[in-house]
């Protein structure tokens, strides 16, 4: 039987963190779960929420670690080992404060860039060679201390753009799954157009 694919969204569990910028990874996989008409189930042995579906004749597992961001690798490593997911079959979706809101960047590997969730995944997998999709959330201009910002919620003026970003990021994840990472990078990496600006361009 073919090895399954694993798409992981990183974030923090609980109502206090719901729909915050730091939970962009959760928001994308939540969008995929809704799109695929699936539903989450909490798996205690992984301390994660999981969904298992059949997509394009392959098994796909969606995962939201419930470990808190900085320990995400514990759940990711355990799920990968249990389901025998090879590293090329893993996609991790995270927020990125160094990318402006609306920008998507998929890469086949690389450093954590200081993202504690990716650091934890790298530590538990023992490799940087796995796909990661960074979802830009921006940062306050000139601010280095960004904890309050990333743990805050998107503003009402950002809502339309965020909704479109989640849709395009979901499209990109599906393309990664169905057509491979090169196609997904070339087709979707870059800036998602802001619906608020489209009327002004007329």
Residues with catalytic roles: 22
Three-state helix/strand/coil letters over the chain: CCCCEEEEECCCCCHHHCCEHHHHHHHHHHHHHHHCCCCCEEECCCCEEEEEEEECCEEEEEEEECCCHHHHHHHHHHHHHHHCCCHHHEEEEEEECCCCCCEEEEECCCCCCCCHHHHHHHHHHCCCCCEEEEEECCCCCCCCCCHHHHCCECCHHHHHHHHHHHHHHHHHHHHHHHHCHHHHHHHHCEECCCHHHHCCCC
CB 15 within 8 A of CB 31: no
Neighbours of 165 (CB within 10 A): 26
């Amino acid at each position: 039987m073919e090895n399954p694919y694993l798409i992981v969204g990183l974030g923090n569990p609980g109502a206090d963190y719901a729909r915050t910028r730091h939970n962009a990874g959760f928001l994308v996989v939540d969008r995929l779960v809704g799109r695929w008409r699936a539903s989450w189930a909490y798996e205690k042995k992984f301390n994660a929420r999981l969904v298992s579906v059949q997509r394009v004749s392959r098994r796909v597992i969606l995962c939201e670690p419930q470990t808190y961001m900085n320990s995400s690798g514990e759940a990711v490593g355990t799920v990968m080992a249990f389901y025998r997911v090879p590293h090329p079959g893993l996609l991790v979706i995270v927020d990125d404060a160094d990318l402006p809101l609306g920008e998507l960047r998929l890469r086949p590997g690389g450093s954590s860039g200081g993202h504690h969730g990716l650091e934890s995944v790298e530590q538990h997998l023992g490799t940087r060679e796995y796909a990661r999709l960074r979802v830009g959330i921006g940062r306050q201009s000139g601010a280095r201390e960004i904890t309050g910002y990333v743990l805050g919620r998107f503003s009402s003026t950002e809502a339309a753009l965020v909704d479109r970003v989640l849709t395009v990021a979901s499209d990109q994840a599906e393309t990664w799954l169905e057509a491979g990472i090169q196609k997904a990078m070339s087709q979707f990496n870059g800036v998602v157009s802001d619906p608020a600006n489209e009327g002004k361009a007329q």
